[in-house]
Structure 1
Amino acid sequence: MSVVTRFAPSPTGYLHIGNLRAALFNFLIARKAGGQFILRLDDTDPERSTTEYADAIQTDLEWLGFEWDRVERQSDRLDLYAAAADELRDKGRFYEAWETPTELDLKRKKQLNMGQPPVYDRAALALDAAAKDALRTERGQGVWRFKLDHERIEWTDGILGDLSIDAASVSDPVLIRADGQVLYTIASVVDDTDMGVTHVVRGSDHVTNTATQIQIMAALGHDHPHFAHHSLLTGPAGEALSKRLGTLSLRDLRGQGMEPMALLSHMARIGSSQPVMLAGSMDELAEGFDLDHFGSAPTKFDIDDVWPLSARVIHEMPLEAVADEVAALGVPQDLAPAFWDVARANIGTRAEMADWWQLFRDGGSALVDDEDRDFVAEAFAMLPDPPYSAETWSHWTNAVKEATGRKGKGLFMPLRKAVTGRERGPEMADVMRLLQVKPQL
């Protein structure tokens, strides 16, 4: 059986860390099996779905290295959903209901007060044709609900194991709103069956949706895919991550200089029994990916854990990977290898390269303590004009030591701070050979 997976985001906002988890799991399953991965835009809400967000979703996924076999838009498939709705009506599994949100809320409160599960009471099924016509005249079109068979819905989940949900404890789901908008529950069913999707991985908050969709698929004469529900992400202290998702958009992380493979490597392992390891490619990630390693417990996510991994990606990156960016800074071609060797070990994002080249090109802003000012002035007077070599630092500091009697940290630290404007950084021999100007106080 050929493996087919999909990622079905709504183009109503930017992708965030929570979205990435579902996208990555489905992608890796397909990649490992040599199967197909479909990007399916859930854009049936015409008011909230925008081209801007649809384009942004694809841009974010491309930045991360995702590849898909095709893009589908649910707005192009409305006729298929309408045909499925007609089939459910013909089979007596679809009915119209007119309760207002206020009326439904009152019913739920009454049920809870009586110790009953707060599910829809199917009052609409008792309406005769005249009553339906009257409600349609008074309130307009109603919502369309799927009539669940009140039996246990059972499946073996790829992460959670054997699951069983009593359909009687679940409200008959609304599949079409009163304004005619087709909702996710039926659109996803039609798409998954029509596109031959074999595996669906999504958040554990979809477990009830899955139960109802299994029945809808059966009512339409289809088997269901292999479902798996990953745990939900929390903040580092176990707090709900939903409140922070606005600051964890993939778009913002890209803008902050996050390296894609660091983020992917982290997301592919957290919540599993496997340690986080930096992978070199999507294929390497896919090879080591297995849903069996994941558990049901909420998964703590801290973006601060990813930044060191992102810096490590840069530290291991060859010049060829950033040659265009180095050249764009104005680094001469003959200095590029030495510059990158120094820069990559001392930056956390690629954007920080510019600060180091500015220091080498224009000189640093001297950082000099008051008690060292005369010493630094004397030392700078002993430094010749560039070009400098890898030996310049040792020759210069030896001469300064002889002239001033300073040694050790008292000699080297003031000069490092004066030349670079920083207390830490690369070996000063490497700094000196890259300096294009004589340091100035």
Structure 2
Amino acid sequence: MTTTRFAPSPTGYIHVGNLRTALMNYLIAKKAGGTFILRIDDTDPERSKQEYVDAIHQDLEWLGLTWDRMEFQSKRLDRYHAAADQLRDLGRFYECFETPTELDLKRKKQLNMGKPPVYDRSALALSDEAKAEMRAERGDGHWRFKLDQERINWVDGVLGDISIDAASVSDPVLIRGDGQFLYTLASVVDDVEMGVTHVVRGSDHVTNTATQIQMIQALGGTVPKFAHHSLLTGPQGESLSKRLGTLSLRDLREAGVEPLALLSHMARLGANQPIELRDSLDEIAEGFDVDQFGTAPTKFDAQDLYPLTARYLGAQPLAAVADEVSSAGVADADAFWAVIRENITTRKDIAAWADLFANGADPVIDDEDQAFVAEAMALLPEGPFDGDSWGNWTKAVKEATGRKGRGLFMPLRKALTGMSHGPDMSAVLPMLQVIKARG
């Protein structure tokens, strides 16, 4: 059974970078008919907040990324204690007492000597008596996993063949001095015990994966298939790290981005397949393959989501936007939607069109068109208008003024709607209840 997981920390709102990871794991499970686990990484009690747990639920439900199972790491601390004891019994876990300042000095010394800044394992030489003295002086130490200093190899689903020399990596800290379990230990224990078969995450986790493979093997687990997707950048290749707070899923939702527009975009962004708007998550999953993704940093521009959102809305029946149309106070909803559906970018535009039709638009008239528009408006009959009214009126204006083509139609569109583009004016004119350009 294919099993994947998404393990966000409830310390803030999830953003497009998180979504990329969540979506890929979801689609792998969905395509295989497997299990998608939502695992809340809340082992840090000071930073984890219930409001962010709730927000994660809301964001994933908005997108339709429903989970088959939910776990909280804060409820599994006994399992992490048991795993720590197992590693101690195996001689793979040892207590260290260096302060952050001392570790930093060691790293600087190694770098000055041209050596990699790897922990020197000096704590392994401490006697039981020396450890007791350290605890009395400094409190409990932090615990590191002792790596076998050999090459760690795996075939990555995106990066291909990976080989990392464990001797070039510091033994990872798994438990802090205050007793808090760190991500590396909790994640490995959960993956082993929950039967996770595939792990997709960012390329910044490659070194973590190397150490975790040894930990999984030490605990007797089966190593999942790992894949590391590229990291997102801004449209000019700039780092997104400082902007991710403004690219949260709730911000995109508030801006009017449609779920399937966002999902369709993110499911192909960085792949060697074109981005195509899909009608459902099932359709997105059917065409998804993680090995289609490249290794280069992937440019993300939130503006690319709006043409997809517009295309999605333009294909929707009235029922899909009934709430927004009803809230806008539209009388003939069917006719209204037929006119505007291909001329909105987000649902927010529905109210603006309803206001335009009900209350008229402030006319936009260029200086050179002032006399022409005044003459044309004098020829516009009183309503009500029908589908032939625009054609009849512009024909009369053409005969009276000699204008034709764009010089005829554009000034009249701008005078009636305040815009230089939009739906066919033969459909718009019958919808206008107020025409401000009459003066």
Q: Using the alignment, how far apart are the partners of 2:421 and 2:323 within structure 1?
A: 27
**Pairwise mapping of residues 105-120 of structure 1 onto structure 2 (< 5 A)?**
105-120=104-119
Contact 1:206 1:229 in 2 (8 A): yes
Contact 2:8 2:39 in 1 (8 A): yes
| C-alpha displacement of 1:378 | 4.1
Structure 1 letter corresponding to 2:179: G
Contact 1:386 1:438 in 2 (8 A): no
**Pairwise mapping of residues 349-388 of structure 1 onto structure 2 (< 5 A)?**
349-388=346-385
TM-score relative to the length of structure 1: 0.95
**Which SS does the other structure have where 1:156 is aligned?**
strand
What whole-Å deviation, never above 9, does each CA across 1:29-59 have from its counterpart, x for those lacking one?
A: 0000000101111011111111111111111
Moved more, 129-138 or 311-320: 311-320
In the alignment, does 2:251 pair up with 1:252? yes
Q: Using the alignment, how far apart are the partners of 1:438 and 1:94 within structure 2?
A: 79
What whole-Å deviation, never above 9, does each CA across 1:418-440 have from its counterpart, x for those lacking one?
A: 11111221111111111123443
Q: Using the alignment, how far apart are the partners of 2:79 and 2:415 within structure 1?
A: 71
What whole-Å deviation, never above 9, does each CA across 1:224-245 have from its counterpart, x for those lacking one?
A: 1111111112222322222322
Q: Using the alignment, how far apart are the partners of 2:230 and 2:378 within structure 1?
A: 64
Mark the CA change 1:397 to 1:74 in structure 2 (over 3 Å): closer, same or farther.
Answer: same
| C-alpha displacement of 1:185 | 0.2
Mark the CA change 1:70 to 1:430 in structure 2 (over 3 Å): closer, same or farther.
Answer: same
**Which SS does the other structure have where 1:48 is aligned?**
coil
* Number of the residue aligned with 1:436: 433
Q: Using the alignment, how far apart are the partners of 1:128 and 1:438 within structure 2?
A: 91
* Number of the residue aligned with 1:11: 10
Structure 2 letter corresponding to 1:424: H
Contact 1:5 1:30 in 2 (8 A): yes
Q: Using the alignment, how far apart are the partners of 2:162 and 2:369 within structure 1?
A: 72
In the alignment, does 2:330 pair up with 1:331? yes
2:345 aligns with one of 341, 345, 348: 348
**Which SS does the other structure have where 1:144 is aligned?**
strand
**Which SS does the other structure have where 2:241 is aligned?**
helix
Q: Using the alignment, how far apart are the partners of 2:292 and 2:367 within structure 1?
A: 59
CA RMSD of aligned residues (A): 1.6
2:395 aligns with one of 391, 395, 398: 398
What whole-Å deviation, never above 9, does each CA across 1:280-329 have from its counterpart, x for those lacking one?
A: 11111110111221222222222233322222112222222112211111
Q: Using the alignment, how far apart are the partners of 2:373 and 2:221 within structure 1?
A: 81
Matched residue pairs, number? 438
Contact 1:385 1:437 in 2 (8 A): no
* Number of the residue aligned with 1:73: 72
* Number of the residue aligned with 2:89: 90
* Number of the residue aligned with 1:419: 416
What whole-Å deviation, never above 9, does each CA across 1:376-425 have from its counterpart, x for those lacking one?
A: 34433443433221111122223334444544444323222211111221
Q: Using the alignment, how far apart are the partners of 1:289 and 1:162 within structure 2?
A: 21
| C-alpha displacement of 1:265 | 1.3
Q: Using the alignment, how far apart are the partners of 2:297 and 2:435 within structure 1?
A: 56
Structure 1 letter corresponding to 2:16: I
Q: Using the alignment, how far apart are the partners of 1:371 and 1:228 within structure 2?
A: 62
Contact 2:379 2:397 in 1 (8 A): yes
Moved more, 197-206 or 429-438: 429-438
Contact 2:361 2:435 in 1 (8 A): no
Structure 2 letter corresponding to 1:181: Q
**Pairwise mapping of residues 207-222 of structure 1 onto structure 2 (< 5 A)?**
207-222=206-221
**Which SS does the other structure have where 1:37 is aligned?**
strand
Moved more, 388-397 or 168-177: 388-397
Q: Using the alignment, how far apart are the partners of 1:360 and 1:214 within structure 2?
A: 63
**Which SS does the other structure have where 1:241 is aligned?**
coil
What whole-Å deviation, never above 9, does each CA across 1:237-262 have from its counterpart, x for those lacking one?
A: 32222232222211111111112212
| C-alpha displacement of 1:127 | 0.8
Q: For structure 2, list consecutive stretches of 5 or more residues without a partner in the other structure.
A: none
* Number of the residue aligned with 2:232: 233
Q: Using the alignment, how far apart are the partners of 2:299 and 2:397 within structure 1?
A: 53
In the alignment, does 2:22 pair up with 1:23? yes
TM-score relative to the length of structure 2: 0.96
Calculate percent identity across the aligned residue pairs.
Answer: 69
* Number of the residue aligned with 2:142: 143
| C-alpha displacement of 1:5 | 0.5
